[in-house]
């Protein structure tokens, strides 16, 4: 039988150990929250992220995770609030800016200027975020800045030459600008990289029909 000396003084090392256990518990909740998020169980994910934050209020990854889960549920204001907290803790968290940019660009918010600012900051902090370049390009395109959109898509392609979506999106912008040759070239490459994408096939077919009709007329 193990006897416990409750009268023993708690040393500094003991306190550090308790703090380490507390942090470990917070990380465990955060990791399980990530697993629930990947399963699409947003409510369960939010509950675990909240527990993680209770144990360690400085765990920025838990705020980012909960923000993603809130966004997945369509609770955009709550998502933005969590991303704001994460950025307050660490202004260099590219992932937090990227997540907040998604929230700002949501139809319920429609704050394109803030979305673009966050996309841009995310890319500045982590130049390898090809996805941020894609989203930045889409935000600029939706706001009417087609040339800047093309520049962002081109940067995404430079970072990942096998990104079919980047070619598709850039091709769509070229089509908007009336540059049909460039549009066809990009859509053809997108289809080569993703042969089963029906949307790309339809867009390419529509442009080719327009060109044939123009030549015939």
The DSSP H or E segment spanning 186 is helix 180-193
Residue 2 in this model has a pLDDT that exceeds 80:
no
Q: Name the residue range of residue 141's domain.
A: 134-217
Q: Do residues 105 and 70 both lie within one domain?
A: yes
Query: Is there a single domain that holds both residue 48 and residue 97?
Result: yes
Token pair 């998020």: residue: 37
Kindly report the backbone phi and psi dihedral angles of residue 110, in degrees, each rounded to the nearest multiple of 5, phi listed first.
60, 30
Give the integer Cα–Cα distance in Å for 29 and 192. Answer: 42
pTM, to two decimals: 0.64
Query: In the predicted model, is pLDDT for residue 153 greater than 70?
Result: yes
Out of 126, 160, 185, a domain closes at: 126
96-131 per-position pLDDT tens digit: 998 898 888 776 777 888 988 998 898 889 877 777
**Cα 152 to Cα 134: distance, rounded to the nearest angstrom:** 7
Residue 204 vs residue 148, higher pLDDT: 204
14 pLDDT higher than 70? no
Domain of residue 121, CATH code: 1.25.40.10
Output the average pLDDT for the chain: 85
């Amino acid at each position: 039988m193990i006897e416990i000396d409750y009268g023993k003084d708690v040393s500094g090392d003991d306190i550090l150990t308790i703090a380490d256990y507390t942090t470990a518990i917070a990380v465990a909740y955060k990791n399980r929250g990530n697993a629930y998020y990947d399963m699409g169980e947003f409510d369960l994910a939010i509950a675990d992220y909240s527990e993680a934050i209770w144990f360690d209020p400085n765990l920025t990854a838990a705020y980012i995770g909960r923000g993603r889960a809130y966004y997945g549920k369509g609770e955009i204001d709550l998502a933005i609030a969590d991303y704001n907290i994460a950025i307050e803790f660490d202004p260099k968290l590219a992932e937090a800016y990227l997540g907040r940019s998604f929230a700002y660009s949501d139809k319920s918010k429609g704050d394109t200027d803030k979305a673009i600012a966050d996309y841009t900051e995310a890319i500045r902090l982590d130049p390898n975020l090809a996805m941020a370049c894609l989203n930045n390009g889409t935000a600029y395109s939706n706001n009417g800045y087609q040339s800047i959109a093309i520049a962002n898509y081109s940067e995404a392609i430079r970072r990942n030459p096998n990104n079919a979506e980047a070619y598709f999106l850039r091709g769509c912008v070229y089509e908007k600008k009336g540059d049909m040759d460039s549009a066809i070239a990009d859509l053809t490459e997108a289809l080569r990289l993703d042969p089963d994408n029906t949307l790309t096939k339809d867009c390419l077919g529509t442009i080719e029909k327009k060109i044939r009709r123009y030549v015939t007329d």
